[in-house]
Structure 1
Amino acid sequence: MEERLRRLGKKKLSNELMFTEQHRKNIYQAIDREQKSNEEILIATLQLLNEKRTGFELLQMLESRNIKKFINQEGALYLLLHELEQKEWIASLWMDNHLKYYYLQDKGRKVLMKAEETQLKDSPALKDLLGGDILYE
């Protein structure tokens, strides 16, 4: 196997890959399918905060749900959490282990229940319910 790797290293690869317009279109569509809407991210965040979690735990769980918005942008998650605290949808507390835990409050539970009932991810009603552009780019 090492010999094959050495031989591969000696081969010169083209600096530019040639893609047809259709290939490009397919790639962009695949990328768009992977991205979650702000409403989906917000609902997932609220669902995960049914139990007390640290920001780091929440980040890992969102990534496990294929939500990639916060990869290399962890600060954006904390901005979202702060905004949700301001709306009184979630609360936070510092524990003896010097970790800050976030959890869902009654107001957040009601919003989550209504959002899950609509089940229309991109509906204007859901966007209004969730408060519009709460997620930071």
Structure 2
Amino acid sequence: MDDRLKKLKGSMRRTVLQDLNFTEGLKHNIKNKINQIHETSEEDIILAVFQLLKQERTGFELSKLIRARGIKTFENEEGFLYMTLHKFEQKGYVNSYWKDKDVKYYQASTKGLRLLHTLDNKREGKAYSLKEILDR
């Protein structure tokens, strides 16, 4: 398989990618835009999750509502959403409970609501709070 990929890559360079020429300035601009999108999207995702979890919701409901906001991070990767919710739950930002043995509901805890308030109101707080959630 590795040899086939190498051959494909070489073939792409000789045909499709042959006419592409990126200057260093253009490469730098593209990298900056990608970094800006990445930073913004993490913040948007966390804000969206906590805003939506003011009310109890299932993971499926949450996923649909996040997609409705135009955030496609969890599209086709719902497992990542559940890992994120579990991480928030372990840190005390989200509470959950099982209903009817097969449906799990999530809701922002008091700590999660305080975090949401901080994220909504303070620019400096956003960077600190996001770092706190993602790194610990």
| Alignment partners' CA distance in 2, 1:130 and 1:66 | 20
Cα RMSD after superposing both structures: 3.0
For residue 110 of structure 2, what is the amino acid of its counterpart? D
In structure 1, the residue matched to 2:129 is 129
Q: List per-residue Cα deviations over 1:94-121 (Å, max 9, x = no partner).
A: 0126200001111111111011001x3x
| Alignment partners' CA distance in 2, 1:131 and 1:86 | 16
Gaps of at least 5 residues in structure 1 are 1-14
Say whether residues 1:73 and 2:77 are aligned partners.
yes
Structure 1 segments of 4+ aligned residues over 3 angstroms from their partners: 18-21, 31-36
TM-score, normalised with respect to structure 2? 0.68
Say whether residues 1:96 and 2:96 are aligned partners.
no
Gaps of at least 5 residues in structure 2 are 1-14
Contact 1:90–1:105 (8 Å) recurs in 2: yes
Select the structure with the greater relative contact order (CA < 8 A; seq sep ≥ 6): 1
Given the superposition, is the C-alpha separation of residues 57 and 19 from structure 1 closer, same or farther in structure 2, using an over 3 Å criterion? Answer: farther
TM-score, normalised with respect to structure 1? 0.67
Deviation at 1:130, TM superposition (A): 2.7
Which of the pair is proportionally richer in helix?
2
Aligned length: 116
